[in-house]
Structure 1
């Protein structure tokens, strides 16, 4: 075991009983084991619906007691004896998507959900129950992605750095979700991608990612203020279409921007069940167009099956992203291809909260769930 100085105890945000209030506790500091690292957490993301995960409203399945949390930015504090590249002191992105090493289909979301199978439930219950709303967190080595601190945080005046602070870098977690879907359908430079809805946190992130991948974007949404912000990203590569609830109007509006689109990225919230735009976007695709479905509908949706068959449309389901996607997106951020700078006007740190103020953090995230808005726990 390679370690720095790990304290005997640390503070963590714990849920003892499912759907009951979280509480800050002093616990033994986790220790590295083979295949793992202990990370000193600097900032951990707060998802817009985090409050409804832990109060039971979303009915996510996970074991208790557990330390709450999700993806985070931290420094390696100690590593297991089989680590060959991670070193104490290194800045890393901890990815909350944990997979079984002997069954990659067993997938859990750290601190949030134990997946959909007995193997995934075992993975969370027996090995990776505790997450990142804590001063220290134990993580699989393969979920700790090194960050080039000199490039990301160095001063632009020195000619090598982007000048980001740690909080801003945490937006990687939001960008990764749509990147997984867009990369899965192999979006190419010059293609036109419909993003719907594009005004929420993940949908807005999809617009930024698609632009960085070289695509033109048609952003659909109801919030005209956010649509205007997205349109301001590029006068030539971002077009906006209002979601009206009228399928014919939506299809006509989509077709005005250069004819059939190449791809459609859907990240619908569960509240949008029955929305017209899902079918409108599919109807607006070219022959052999592609659909990436990453949305949260709880019930089945009507699909124009005959159209899919006649036009050779490919429908892809995608949950989260691959480790290769993480490495690729981190590189895009490090070289500035995905611009997180304040001057861009979209990525905003809304607040950073200590463990004791977790309720404020959850409320802040819920009230500010639009594109680029970040709420964080800083243990």
Structure 2
């Protein structure tokens, strides 16, 4: 089932990390079994996009390709085996694409090709191009239906009054939700979030509040960002990472034992002292969620883990079931978006303005969202 698709469309293409991205004209993708073609309304720009596509972060991906991320779009055409998706429907495009015959083979569309032969096959083949484009092709299961009437509808008519670019904020919350759900964060628990001053760490603070945490201890080095987080709720308290492991552990312990420590450290935080400080502040049977990008060995005291009955779980992104459950938090209003949540759209840029979009995103902090609207 399909609507009329244009013969061509425009998209950003990365040819080399040593060259600037270019806006080019491509043949518009066509729907087939297991996929849909979506008209992109707004695509999320993560804070370190510039470092991905200039090679600084050294993410593996095929070249040339169309970069991108999670996006909000409208279904333009669907393959013959679509059973619920229909043209015109508002959807969230989930960039975590998994092998249907091997879910452990996973890519982040437009960002990274993964680390197995299976995942590389996904990104070098059918799912090479992503969402910084007027039209994109995504697997049916990665097109998550959204309740347009409720989410975009006027508050006077019972809607939440969001714009498409507000819905792009879902990305910063969905990632930490995967780890918080995996670690089983429960209402009434105390959680340490570190570092909490980036987009995903700040998102974790908000998600933990929505999931019912009685206290969220936000750790970080950026005092201005910590102050913004403390203003969210009287359930948020902050602890600055000083680099003094013992002092930071004592500051955390004064706030009482925590049940959960959620870490989403960037690669450059490999030597940070906050890992051991936060683990020391956990109570008996504490749980640790690792979702960061650290590529280094981390040590811990074996007997301490054993005697205190601590557990640790790594999570990369989230499952489709978790997406569907998370959308309920958004629909219910328990996790607000946009201005009512103090979140601002710092920039809405066209394809030709990609460089400015990346620059603004790098400075957007925990409260700002930047999107590319093809």
TM-score range, shorter-chain basis? Answer: over 0.9
Give the Cα separation in 2 of the matches to 1:59 and 1:86: 36
Q: Following the alignment from structure 1 to structure 2, what is the Cα–Cα distance between the partners of residues 52 and 211? A: 31
Indicate yes or no: 2:194 matched with 1:196.
yes
Shift of 1:18: 4.5
Task: Report the Cα distance in structure 1 between the residues aligned to 2:311 and 2:98, rounded to whole angstroms.
Answer: 26
Are the counterparts in 2 of residues 279 and 304 from structure 1 also a CA contact under 8 Å?
no
**1:41 to partner: Cα distance:** 0.2
Note if 1:154 corresponds to 2:150. Answer: no
Aligned to 2:332: 335
Counterpart secondary structure, 1:40: strand
- How far residue 309 of structure 1 moved from its aligned partner, in angstroms, is 1.3
Aligned to 1:9: 8
TM-score, normalised relative to structure 2: 0.98
In the TM superposition, residue 14 of structure 1 has moved relative to its aligned partner by 0.7
Separation of aligned partners in 1, 2:182 and 2:110:
25
* CA distance, structure 2, for counterparts of residue 304 and residue 277 of structure 1: 15
State whether structure 2 residue 304 is matched by structure 1 residue 311.
no
Any conservation in 2 of the 1:20–1:54 contact (CA below 8 Å)?
Answer: no
Aligned counterpart in structure 1 of residue 180 of structure 2, from 172, 179, 182 = 182
* CA–CA distance in structure 2, aligned partners of residues 267 and 18 of structure 1: 26
- Of residues 180-189 and 327-336 in structure 1, the stretch that sits farther from structure 2 once superposed is 327-336
What is the root-mean-square deviation in Å for CA atoms of aligned residues? 1.0
Distance 1:151 1:304 in 2: 50
Residue 316 (structure 1) shift: 0.5
Match of 2:367 among 366, 369, 372: 372
How far the C-alpha of 1:214 sits from its partner, in A, is: 0.2
TM-score scaled by length of structure 1 = 0.97
> 1:95-134 alignment to 2 at 5 Å?
95-134=94-133
SS of equivalent residue, structure 2 residue 313: strand
8 Å contact kept, 1:171–1:372: no
Aligned to 2:141: 142
Kept in 1: contact 2:35–2:137 (CA 8 A): yes
Once the two structures are superposed, what CA deviation does each residue of 1:19-57 show, in whole Å capped at 9, x if it has no partner? 432100010000001000000000001111111111111
SS of 2:74's equivalent in the other structure is strand
The aligned residue for residue 320 of structure 1 is: 317
Deviations 1:261-281 (A, max 9, x none): 000000011111211111100
Note if 1:273 corresponds to 2:270. yes
Structure 2 unmatched ranges of 5 or more: none
Residue deviations 1:321-344, cap 9 Å, x none?
Answer: 111111111111011010114133
Q: Distance in 2 between matches of 1:68 and 1:198?
A: 27
Secondary structure at the aligned position of 1:3 is classed as coil
Q: Deviation of residue 305 (structure 1)?
A: 2.5
User: Structure 1 residues 79-88 or 269-278, which shifts more?
Assistant: 269-278
What do residues 264-308 of structure 1 show as CA deviations (whole Å, max 9, x unaligned)?
000011111211111100011111110000111121122232211
Equivalent residue number for residue 26 of structure 2: 27
CA distance in 2, matches of 1:375, 1:302: 37
Distance 1:232 1:212 in 2: 15
